[in-house]
Amino acid sequence: MTEIKDILKLSVDERIHLVQTIWDSIASEAESADISDEHKKILNDRLEAYKNTPDDNISWKEIDKYTRRKL
């Protein structure tokens, strides 16, 4: 296995490429990853809260607009 010190010797472009390659490999396997029962419960609880109180939710468009104003 490659050591971190060896990775840090790579150029920025090489490290970015490496990270992208690693991320792509994770993403391709993510669909088959197991989710713990605890995490499933959290996701289900959040989905139920979203469905039960739609007026309490903020759209991505609103979040983006708010964030851009703060920048």
Q: What is the mean pLDDT of each run of 10 residues along the chain (71 residues)?
A: 92 97 88 86 94 89 93 88
Q: What is the pLDDT of residue 10?
A: 96
State the total domains in the chain.
2
> How far is CA 45 from each of CA 8, 34, 38, 42, 65, rounded to the nearest angstrom?
41, 18, 11, 5, 27
Shared domain check, 68 and 46:
yes
pTM beyond 0.95: no
Within this chain, do residues 21 and 48 fall inside the same structural domain, yes or no?
Answer: no
Nearest to 18 by CA among 33, 2, 35: 2
Q: What is the pLDDT of residue 54?
A: 82
Q: What pLDDT score does 27 carry?
A: 86
- Based on the fold, state whether residues 14 and 42 are members of the same structural domain: no
What residue numbers bound the domain in which 21 lies?
A: 1-33
Q: Clarify whether residues 40 and 67 are in a common domain.
A: yes
pLDDT of residue 15: 96
17 and 46 both lie in a single domain: no
